[in-house]
Structure 1
């Protein structure tokens, strides 16, 4: 496989939008990864992972052992996981229950339950798109589980787990717009993307938009489109479909950009924590819990059932 790219399998997960801050704990099974491998030494694993930093599928081997980073987290009696608060069915507060919930939240709670053994010791902390890398590097959170694309540039700053989902970038426009393709929707137009997002990087590289409007969170782009201040929004396909479901006056343009994968972000100085996360992902997928979470949160909204499922033929 070509390094630095993902195999051309896409996710088209539909995610309704919601917003609310949340800091809470929870437990339960979740995850997704290849078959489990237990007990690999973290320092050696870290060296192996660094041997090819541009292979976005490469991560430290799974391990159930507690290394220094995991022991330090247990000693402070709190695992802090950065999550989204703007994407219903991925991560948002349910107004009826007051609980934050979604596909990524199931995964975050699964990791927390496996590492801490007590859901009351897990804190879910909302983190803005633009702050994800900084939050990990400065140890404001221990992990990020927030539809975070794995790419070579980010791998220079943080470590990633094995991927747990496929995505692509998509473009939204007002339903009244006559455009029929991604290029037509972007070229010479005012386009919105979240700061620090893959969409921002794609648009910045293309340099075909008349103007690039940058916001803290992708939900802000929908508001700007409703106000008529932008012509289009680029975001990953799950979030794009969520915006289209939230607001019937916008639609997704035909065509996808840059197939990618999502992973859990961890500090590069905590390879044993990354190994533990990979073990949770492996166990979670093997148990069927990944599939159960997917069917609960995302399957009813999928536009292309055949192409979203990461651990199948796309796994390495």
Structure 2
């Protein structure tokens, strides 16, 4: 409980003010005011071919890249409450995590400075509106690529593979994403793929929706819900915060995280894919493997894990 409260008590990042921005993901006023086998995805979860296929990498400067360079900052929508992914390190007060490392790599490539970033904390349900309204340039926030989201935003190639799974107290009688959920209060984050999965197949559970994933963990600790459905990669971090909870059953989807961007910012999509090409293969301290070992390996116990291979559509 103390670990979760420590994360929720930190001051928020720069506020995510609402407003209409310029095309390509740039805010109109860019001011500083601010691991079991994985089952197939749920039937009907994706209806478009190869949703993980993205634009081929290119380092050319288009309109979106030029706006970012003119502003001198990359505006990134992130989480600050997901342990190991995007959170405030209580020892240093600095934002850190696997997703944050990737943001820094993108800023380094585009602006020549990994610290040239304005971080904006956004809840799960605000990720797409923030991009469409131009309040952020990119969202790097454990965001699953799927067909429904591709109708509204663009994605990079996949940078991580995860799956939906159930997190519950260690003394639970819940056995997984199955009929043992009947009558149980099951928490998901609003706008998440977990919420969509529970709508399609609830197994008689009582869905509880909250703005952010960590809110589910707090409710579970307070006894207000009986279980959580979320990405197993996120759940592993939550279990590391609170050893009284555990993952149960097996993952029932296969999902891929991508960097989300405004659909009009095609040059930025290609540039991020160029960054990811080097990030996957790099051997330095900022490379994918080094970041995985630094942030995720201890909880996921997946030594030797690698990034998903990229897929391209043109």
TM-score scaled to structure 1, two decimals?
Answer: 0.81
Distance 1:59 1:130 in 2: 23
Quote the offset at 1:114 in angstroms: 0.8
Asked if 2 retains the 8 angstrom alpha-carbon contact of 1:22 and 1:100, the reply is: no
Structure 1 residues without counterparts, runs of 5 or longer: 1-15, 25-51
Which residue does 1:170 correspond to in 2?
165
Distance 1:183 1:120 in 2: 45
Q: 2:266 aligns with which of 262, 271, 274?
A: 271
Q: Indicate the larger mover: 53-62 or 275-284.
A: 53-62
Correspondence 1:116-265 to 2 at 5 A = 116-265=111-260
Count of paired positions: 272
Quote the offset at 1:76 in angstroms: 2.2
Asked if 1 retains the 8 angstrom alpha-carbon contact of 2:179 and 2:203, the reply is: no
Which residue does 2:50 correspond to in 1?
55
SS of structure 2 residue aligned to 1:280: helix
Distance 1:160 1:236 in 2: 18
Distance 1:266 1:181 in 2: 34
TM-score scaled to structure 2, two decimals?
Answer: 0.81
Correspondence 1:282-301 to 2 at 5 A = 282-288=277-283, 289-301=287-299
CA deviation vs aligned residue, 1:125-161 (integer Å, no higher than 9, x gap): 1111111011111111000011000000000010000
Structure 2 residues without counterparts, runs of 5 or longer: 16-46
Greater relative contact order (CA < 8 Å, ≥ 6 in sequence): 1
Cα distance change on mapping 1:247 and 1:293 into 2, 3 Å = same
Distance 1:67 1:74 in 2: 11
SS of structure 2 residue aligned to 1:192: strand
Matched, 1:309 2:306: yes
Asked if 2 retains the 8 angstrom alpha-carbon contact of 1:53 and 1:155, the reply is: no
Aligned-CA RMSD value:
2.1
